[in-house]
Structure 1
Amino acid sequence: MPVPPSPQATRRALLATGAGASLGLLVGRASGGMAAPAPLLQAPAAQLPGTHQQDLRDPASSRTWRVWVQRPAGPVPGTGHPVLYVLDGNAAFALAAQLARNDATRPPELRPDAAIVVGVGHPGDAVIHPAERQRDYTPPPPGGRATAEAGGAQVLLDFIARELQPRIAQAFPVDAQRQTLSGHSFGGLCVLHALFTRPAQFTRYAATSPSVWWNQGQVLQTAAEFAQNHATAPRAFQARLQLRVGGLEHAQAAATPARAAVQAERRLLERTEALARKLTALAWPELRVQMAVLPGLDHGGAMLPGLTDALALAQQPR
């Protein structure tokens, strides 16, 4: 008589069958005499509806940035569409664009104004471009100029001002008083540099886990100069600053000694909180500061909730 299979053999056979069925979804196989469907991974690439992508060369600097634009998913508000400019577009644009599209599905009484989302990133399919991020998002050294490795924040901000913002304003009815720049980490550092050196280019600034430690805390000195330069009213800008930082971004919460050493050196949580206190103490009606610590989140984990809050900031009424 044949020996019945052991329970272990039966389990292995079932697992093999399940794996084969899953694999068939990806590669395609015949079933019941029917022709096999085309392999899923050979199907056309998925696209985000209402989104356009283009590599733009800056005539002034000869640098090229990849730009994404999400069309507003809703009617034109009376004052025009708010615009959210998202740095690190390779990593963050699709998230922000989908969040904006989701708003269009909410009940009318809960639906915020439809926003235009513009991503600014780098050519290529990598999620993060470390060398280009450091080049483009860090401020030039005091009294110095940008190099091929760092200090190019002014170059990028000039490109946005000269090339990108006029293109968006030409393509859509935009609200000039609701222009938001958002960024995380080095991108957040660039956001702060923009506020402190050209506060009228945007009206709203969202910096999540900004790299305030860069170059011995250079941006904190820039903040002090900003306060001094605009100490006397009237001030030719109206700005809102939203600061977000993860509650775990300090040395005591680090899981490993190496990470603890990095966080102790950078002191990102403590420095960001101190910056928020100093800016709030100015009590300028032209500058509104809102700071929040995101509990239980580390540096990378803060990006998504910071982006969600940045979109909400962009959509806030005037």
Structure 2
Amino acid sequence: MPGFTPGQGTRRALLAAGAGIGMGTAGPGLLAGCTAARGRSDLSAGLLQAPAAHLPGTHLRDLRDPASGRTWRVWVQPPAGPAPEHGHPVLYVLDGNAAFALAAQLARNDAERPVGLRPDAAIVVGIGHPGDAAFHPAERLRDFTPAAAGGAATAAAGGADLLLDFMARELQPQVARAFRIDGRRQTISGHSLGGLFVLHALFTRPAQFHRYAATSPSVWWNQGQVLGTAEQFVLAHASAPRPFEARLRLRVGGLETERAAATPARAAVQAERRLMQRTEALAHRLSGLAWPELHVDADVLPGVDHGGAMLPGLVGALAMAQQPR
């Protein structure tokens, strides 16, 4: 994608660093100087001196939003295959520092399947924060939570609309210019606070994306504020025609309840948040609308806790992104 820095050739760098392994040389390679006498400590040191690994075929850039002044880290993996009739589906993944590599590899795996079983090649876009940490707690709280009703974003929280504005004005148009995309198959996926962000996007901007994957969403945030936003969404669109066509994939872990908590402290947290109950109530409310413009697919992930729901959530989000129109 123009403007993004491609990952460098990981395999070539590692092979070059370790070129002397089978030839008895002792240059500055991956295992340079390792002997039986030096033992495992030298082996570990040699491995850690090797070039840093990169995910091949992906691109990375920190993008500053001219409007808000905030900077987000963006990863892009181009589609591994020809464009379908209407263009490539696009999967936007929140918490890109932790989730992008997982989602990108899932898409790469699809490209290796037999032709008759291969889904449409998807573009994967990760949205995260500058830095090497898997998660950035302060920035997640700032960017993934909606502002309080009648309030505005602060430096600490409530910036969900600022990030949505950035995606609508800057990121989505850049992706559309770089690739032949299917505008009706743009999916946003998030877990936990990211799942809260996805629900807020659906209820306030149901036409910005077409598919919404919310996994273990933090529906408890600010005394369940997003549930009130859902009711406003229902009232605002009570009468047809509705100016959107949206699919919602809603998942929650089967262990995200106080009865399944491993410790009393965790049970107390889950009892207070009532994530399972609130998510199920939201699913029933939306499913009961029976709107042809809103398809709701809600389910429980058996045997999965909050953190463990992230990976199956990504698997399902990619599958939904690739579904035909």
Q: Same fold (TM over 0.5)?
A: yes
Deviation at 1:42, TM superposition (A): 1.8
CA distance in 1, matches of 2:257, 2:81: 41
The equivalent residue for 2:143 is 136
- What residue identity is the alignment partner of 2:67? A
Q: How many residues align?
A: 291
Deviation at 1:39, TM superposition (A): 2.4
Unpaired segments ≥5 residues, structure 1 = 1-24
The equivalent residue for 1:125 is 132
CA distance in 1, matches of 2:48, 2:79: 30
CA distance in 2, matches of 1:121, 1:67: 6
2:231 to 217, 224, 229: 224
Counterparts of residues 99-118 of structure 1 (less than 5 Å): 99-118=106-125
Deviation at 1:40, TM superposition (A): 2.6
CA distance in 2, matches of 1:265, 1:140: 22
| TM-score, L = length of structure 1 | 0.89
CA distance in 2, matches of 1:255, 1:28: 46
1:174 to 178, 181, 193: 181
Counterparts of residues 200-211 of structure 1 (less than 5 Å): 200-211=207-218
- Preserved CA contact (<8 Å) 2:30 2:50: no
The equivalent residue for 2:63 is 56
CA distance in 1, matches of 2:47, 2:150: 55
2:256 to 230, 249, 252: 249
Q: Could you list the per-position Cα deviations for residues 111-139 of structure 1 after superposition, in whole angstroms to 9, with x for gaps in the alignment?
A: 00000000000000000100000000000
2:320 to 290, 313, 316: 313
Q: Radius of gyration: which is bigger?
A: 1
The equivalent residue for 1:285 is 292
Unpaired segments ≥5 residues, structure 2 = 1-28, 37-41
Deviation at 1:255, TM superposition (A): 1.1
- What residue identity is the alignment partner of 2:194? G
Counterparts of residues 74-93 of structure 1 (less than 5 Å): 74-93=81-100
1:294 to 279, 290, 301: 301
Q: Could you list the per-position Cα deviations for residues 265-317 of structure 1 after superposition, in whole angstroms to 9, with x for gaps in the alignment?
A: 01111111110000000000000000110001100000000010000000000
Q: Give the aligned CA root-mean-square deviation in angstroms.
A: 1.6
CA distance in 1, matches of 2:90, 2:139: 24
CA distance in 1, matches of 2:73, 2:224: 29
Deviation at 1:163, TM superposition (A): 0.4
CA distance in 2, matches of 1:267, 1:39: 49
Pair 26,300 (structure 1): closer, same or farther in 2 beyond 3 Å: farther
Identity of aligned residues (%): 75
CA distance in 2, matches of 1:246, 1:178: 26
Counterparts of residues 229-244 of structure 1 (less than 5 Å): 229-244=236-251
The equivalent residue for 1:195 is 202
- Preserved CA contact (<8 Å) 1:182 1:206: yes
2:154 to 147, 154, 165: 147
The equivalent residue for 1:265 is 272
- Preserved CA contact (<8 Å) 2:210 2:246: yes
- What residue identity is the alignment partner of 1:29? G
The equivalent residue for 2:16 is none
**Alignment partner of 1:55: what SS?**
strand
**Alignment partner of 2:308: what SS?**
coil
1:163 to 159, 170, 181: 170
- Preserved CA contact (<8 Å) 1:28 1:40: no
**Alignment partner of 2:307: what SS?**
coil
CA distance in 2, matches of 1:50, 1:232: 46
Deviation at 1:43, TM superposition (A): 1.9
The equivalent residue for 2:33 is 29
Deviation at 1:80, TM superposition (A): 0.3
- What residue identity is the alignment partner of 1:290? D
Runs of 4+ in 1 over 6 A off after TM superposition: none
CA distance in 2, matches of 1:247, 1:157: 30
